[in-house]
Structure 1
């Protein structure tokens, strides 16, 4: 049919849409690149922040070694002490890579700078997402390098499977995206609350406790285990860490569905808060 032929009206619309998408992608990739370079410029600061990972993993490792010794067992809920140490490193590397996103959004809202940022020829959400990814990827890489060295010293080589290694980047990326959606939405609450750090603190603590960063959720007693596994916090820390250490196809498929559902619902809630906030800016005249 003529409408689908090259040079027809439909082809021209598709071509323009593809070109616009390409230019938009390049724009946010440039933001991502600048964010990475900015954080690499302060690599020593990132490095010294990552050193806290050594303290946390060392303390938790001693606690779990004592627990294994007191129980007189080599495995606990399917995890050996080597698996447990590598699990702790994977979980802490993600948890400690979170930048101060909520604080930055909070300050932009309360200072009124948001009204000027909304006038940029770019999406405020996607701009912050690209900036957030650049900052977090640098921190995550530094945490991972320090954690790997620490785990090799304390536990020896891991027992990872090639499936777990290949699957981990995908589930880790989805986990970082979920974290962004949650914290970005919390930051926007500054339109209605003078201080959002209390909300951010509550969310981060719930993520640490119920997200499985201190121990795999299999260790928790019932019914707390089932509740924690059903909550979105487990999709951020527990899921990616367990996928890397103990890969199981059924668990991986379930985790992907949980992460996609959590990201979808979280995005809808975040966009609702964002549009309500933008209307509030417009009503007040910027």
Structure 2
């Protein structure tokens, strides 16, 4: 009899869990939608921020054109000047779309607002992730639009493969998620440090230099190239940009493994910091 009752209760439990998961998903999708709409309301600000990409890509392009001319070559480490321009646009599109996540988390922690936000009927981490994605997607699309127009003028039509075009959204999404985990963790360090912007600055500079935003990692001399490719920074910028410009199935598989491993380790570190921070709030009475 007890077995029959347990078997009868299982479908009901499964249905309740599915309903709860569906409602939870709809809640965070609503937060994502609101974040997108809020950023679209200030689309001109997003547009003028994106113009920085034009300046950076133009300056870097002139430097690389000079390098190609001085070396007397049309191809450098497998990249033509047109490939290099499209690579720079792809990398800068991701790099310049980062919102001020660390500063916002830092301010919420230091002002004590975090104690009130934890009382919301939503995960503080997932709430910030949905809000971050909405803000970053708007910036990413604006950067991609402006960067593509610039690259078309300077380098002409790109020779992307359909595999690269299909793979890029996936690897770019994983790169944005890794970036969120890293910067969210840095913001939570405000519980133990009076100022976290120095940590954020160090991480962002390491990402720009070792992540391959100034040049593909193939250009780097050994052993710096191997070190940079093994570090998680390359999974944020270099990997997605190279996948779009020079797609290789073997490299895509290695990149996905690197991104998933980096994301998993990053989530574990972030949750450890987060739970330690929440305990600190509870001990201090909010």
Shorter-chain TM band: over 0.9
Count residues with an aligned counterpart.
284
Q: CA–CA distance in 1 between the matches of 2:249 and 2:50?
A: 32
Q: Once the 2 structures are TM-superposed, how far is the Cα of residue 4 of structure 1 from its aligned partner?
A: 10
Q: Output the TM-score relative to the length of structure 1.
A: 0.98
Unaligned runs of 5+ in 2: none
Q: CA–CA distance in 2 between the matches of 1:215 and 1:271?
A: 33
Q: Once the 2 structures are TM-superposed, how far is the Cα of residue 214 of structure 1 from its aligned partner?
A: 0.4
Which whole-Å deviations, capped at 9, do the CAs of 1:228-274 have from their partners, x for residues lacking one? 00000000000000000000000000000000000000000000000
Task: Please name the residue that 1:276 is paired with.
Answer: 276
Q: Once the 2 structures are TM-superposed, how far is the Cα of residue 9 of structure 1 from its aligned partner?
A: 1.3
Kindly report which structure 2 residues correspond to 1:37-76, keeping only aligned pairs within 5 A, or say none.
37-76=37-76
Q: CA–CA distance in 2 between the matches of 1:70 and 1:16?
A: 68
Cα RMSD after superposing both structures: 1.3
Q: CA–CA distance in 1 between the matches of 2:58 and 2:191?
A: 41
In structure 1, the residue corresponding to 2:247 is in which secondary structure? Answer: coil
Unaligned runs of 5+ in 1: none
Off by >3 Å, runs of 4+ in structure 1: 2-5
Q: Once the 2 structures are TM-superposed, how far is the Cα of residue 8 of structure 1 from its aligned partner?
A: 2.1
Q: Once the 2 structures are TM-superposed, how far is the Cα of residue 3 of structure 1 from its aligned partner?
A: 7.4
Q: CA–CA distance in 1 between the matches of 2:36 and 2:148?
A: 22
Change (3 A) 1:216 1:16: same
Q: Once the 2 structures are TM-superposed, how far is the Cα of residue 10 of structure 1 from its aligned partner?
A: 1.3
Change (3 A) 1:241 1:3: farther
Report whether the alignment pairs 1:229 with 2:253: no
In structure 2, the residue corresponding to 1:114 is in which secondary structure? Answer: helix
In structure 1, the residue corresponding to 2:212 is in which secondary structure? Answer: coil
Report whether the alignment pairs 1:191 with 2:191: yes
Task: Please name the residue that 1:78 is paired with.
Answer: 78
